[in-house]
Structure 1
Amino acid sequence: MAPSITALFLLCSAFSSSTVLSALLGRPINVRLCSYNMNLVLKWDPPEGADSGLLYTAKYKSPVTKYRAGCVNISALECDFTSHHISTYGEYTGGVQALRGVESSIWVESNPITLDKDTIIGPPSVSLVSKGATMEVGIEDPVLWISDVRSVYAGATYNITYWKSSQSEKRSSHVVQRTRVILNHLDSWSQYCLQVNLQVNTARSSKTSMPSNITCDSTTAAGNGSPWTAAVLAFFGISVAVALVAAVVMKWKSISTFLFPKDTLPQCLKESVLAPPVSTLQSLKELHPQEETCVQLLLVSGDRGMEEETPQPEATPFMLHMSGERSIEEETGGWRRRQEHGGGDSNG
């Protein structure tokens, strides 16, 4: 009888201890596996009534692999498995456990997800440029954490919804694959708004991305720019002209003094400035005057047999100019000729 009572007491004690431990260290709640733009993140909430000193360990698995550790002894309420070589078409399940010292909660598993089917695709980036009475729409795909949109979802399209801002209930749509689209047949001088989302229709999944931000711009007349641009340019030109005129008026005294000075030049400077230019040749002649040499010219008549000496003519512009040597030679030659002629006459 005694052994039976002892065993029953031990069993009750063990059950009581387990209940107390479970009450002290609860398990995480609201455990879910999420994916945004092809990432893989396990999220959870702390146990009810738990203090802030708890730590957590998270893991993940696929149908073909066992659980793999993702995060160990972390205080955050999420664990990112994206960098653990996950597949864009893989199916995954996550699990998390609460820890405090040597105590731990039970493992709590998440919902399974298939990445390409269950991921949430973010909004595309959109730009809008007005070109006269048309609009040019530029679209960029959402950036995925692994791979890219066109590799995962072949044949994805864009749904462009646009409307006149004054008539938001009347909306038009275009489904295109291009990243550059021209919207035609728009009213001039009107504001239009648009929104774009990505549509995926494949054999594995059919889904729509989050919509882009609403983007608005105004059309103008065909081939013309915005009226505000012309107004701003005209205002700027008028402002510059007024400023220049005001500056000239305020500084006119200084400008007139500079252009028409009252002071006169000294007389010596006036004579130097107003004197006629002197040629270089004339300057050289004045610096180095030429010396004139006059020679005596004798005329001898053969018929009369006498020599006549002509008087030395006055200096005229036609006077023969010779060097000193040549004049002496000619005089010597003339003297010899006179001697010869004179001798001949005397002999005869």
Structure 2
Amino acid sequence: MSLPRCCCFMALVSVTALASGILPPRNVRLTSHNMDLYLRWKPPENVSGQILYSTKLHVGFDRDLVRPACVNTSALLCELSDPDLGLNIMEFGEYNASVRVLSENEASDWVYSLPLTMDRDTVIGPPTVALVSMGAGIEVTVTAPEFKVSSIARVFGHVKYNVSYWPRGRAQQASHVLVQQNRVVLSGMEPWTEYCVQVQIQVDSGRNRHPAEASELVCESTAGVPSAPWVTAVPLFGALVLTVALVVVAVVYHKAICHLLCTKDSTPMPLQDLRECPHSPLFVPEERCNPFTMTPCHDEGELLPADTRPLRPEL
């Protein structure tokens, strides 16, 4: 708008405001973030008392189709993309909006915002970034922001992700990777080092005129260089072979093992009473008595005769 036309427009607004007795709202503008739609404004200067506002939505730049939006509100904004208003905001729509002041029985003139095209003028918010350490690399998973109207894939198609990463405290050494997938593994990193990652969505500049917002910094540490697979496989294979061998030996020689551990031979009768020290009053306390254990010996399946000679207590 040229300077003379701007001055004439301001003078017209001032004259209309003075004629109606109420100053109009100031700094009226439409904004869009992640495909929402807000009408914002500032109150008129030097106005006291209760002030209410009424807003309208104009579909198309010609303002022919007008729909009422927020009515009799004291807030300094109106969410036109609110489903409760039923305005059916479209992702490729062209919109304009207006607002006026209501005070008692008077109302100011309507003040219009500049027109806005949803897909071209919305500001794309920051994505969500998650990191997973993978040895000497880091896996980055990016989640695009949710849109109030439609989705980022439907509006802009396949977007790209500008992934920037650097060792913590060394942002001047940042590296950049531009990918289309929402998951990428960053390699060639220093082991045992903490890296910070930041991601920004990129769309065709012909589709959107604003740069997207970058994500928050997310940091993760790398680990050591992973060892070769055979280093882990060899001990596991050895343990498996040893276990199988023990099971085979136990199955083949189970009879011999049971015979060794669970003998069926009993102690000869003359010696059964001598396995423990006697507790008879006739036993001399000064004499020492040592318990004994008898193990039978087999030779070709025959039991050797037990020595039945009386055992004398040790003096």
Q: Same fold (TM over 0.5)?
A: yes
- Once the two structures are TM-superposed, the CA of residue 175 in structure 1 deviates from its matched residue by 0.7
Aligned to 1:163: 166
The answer to whether the aligner puts 1:140 opposite 2:143 as a matched pair is yes
Shift of 1:21: 5.7
Structure 2: distance between partners of 1:126 and 1:202: 23
Match of 1:44 among 41, 46, 50: 41
> CA 1:52 to 1:118, structure 2 compared with 1: closer, same or farther past 3 Å?
farther
Could you report, residue by residue, the CA deviation over 1:277-329 in whole angstroms, capped at 9, with x for unpaired residues? xxxxxxxxxxxxxxxxxxxxxxxxxxxxxxxxxxxxxxxxxxxxxxxxxxxxx
1:76 lines up with 2:90 in the alignment: no
Q: Which runs of 5+ in 2 are unaligned?
A: 1-14, 228-315
Deviation string 1:219-244 (CA, Å, 9 cap, x unpaired) is 111238xxxxxxxxxxxxxxxxxxxx
8 A contact 2:17–2:24 mirrored in 1: no
Instruction: Indicate if the aligned counterparts of 1:128 and 1:137 stay in contact, CA closer than 8 A.
Output: yes
Measured after TM superposition, the shift of residue 217 of structure 1 is 1.0
Q: Which residue of 2 aligns with 1:342?
A: none
Residue 111 (structure 1) aligns with? 114
Give 1:20 deviation, angstroms: 6.0
- Which of 87, 96, 106 pairs up with 1:93? 96
Q: Distance in 1 between matches of 2:45 and 2:208?
A: 37
Q: Which has the larger radius of gyration?
A: 1
CA–CA separation in structure 2 for the residues paired with 1:18 and 1:215: 54
CA shift for structure 1 position 163: 0.7
Structure 1 residue 208, shift from structure 2 partner: 3.0
TM-score (norm 1): 0.57
Give how far 1:206 is off: 5.2
TM-score normalised to structure 2 length: 0.62
Aligned partners of 1:94 and 1:162: how far apart in 2?
42
Aligned residues with identical type, % of pairs: 38
1:90-126 per-residue CA deviation (whole Å, 9 max, x = no partner) reads: 1111100000121001110001110000001110000
The change in CA–CA distance for 1:174 and 1:206 in structure 2 (over 3 A counts) is farther
Specify whether residues 181 and 19 from structure 1 end up closer, same or farther in structure 2 by C-alpha distance, changes over 3 A only. closer
- Residues in 2 aligned to 1:94 and 1:205: alpha-carbon distance in whole angstroms: 21
Choose the corresponding residue for 2:219, options 206, 216, 220: 216
For the 8 Å contact 1:200–1:207, the answer to whether it is kept is no
Contact 1:158/1:176 (CA < 8 Å) preserved in 2?
yes
**Structure 1 residues 19 and 135, CA gap change in structure 2 (3 angstroms):** closer
Distance 1:169 1:155, change over 3 A: same
Helix, strand or coil at the partner of 2:174 = strand
1:199 maps to 2:198: no
How far apart in 1 are the matches of 2:51 and 2:151? 38
Q: Distance in 2 between matches of 1:98 and 1:115?
A: 27
Instruction: Report matched runs for 1:247-262 at 5 Å.
Output: none
| Residue 150 (structure 1) aligns with | 153
Indicate the structure with greater helix content.
1
Count residues with an aligned counterpart.
207
Matches within 5 A, 1:1-348: 22=20, 24-63=21-60, 65-82=64-81, 83=83, 84-201=87-204, 203-205=206-208, 207-223=210-226
1:30 aligned counterpart, secondary structure: strand
Greater RCO, 1 or 2 (C-alpha within 8 Å, sep 6+): 2
Do the aligned partners of residues 221 and 19 (structure 1) sit closer, same or farther apart at CA in structure 2, a change above 3 Å counting? closer
Regions of 4+ moved over 4 Å? 17-22
Shift of 1:207: 4.4
Distance 1:206 1:176, change over 3 A: farther
User: Which range is displaced more, 207-216 or 56-65?
Assistant: 56-65
| C-alpha distance 153-198 of structure 1, shift in aligned 2 (>3 A) | same
In 1, Cα distance between equivalents of 2:222 and 2:160: 26
Q: What amino acid is aligned across from residue 167 of structure 1 in structure 2?
A: R
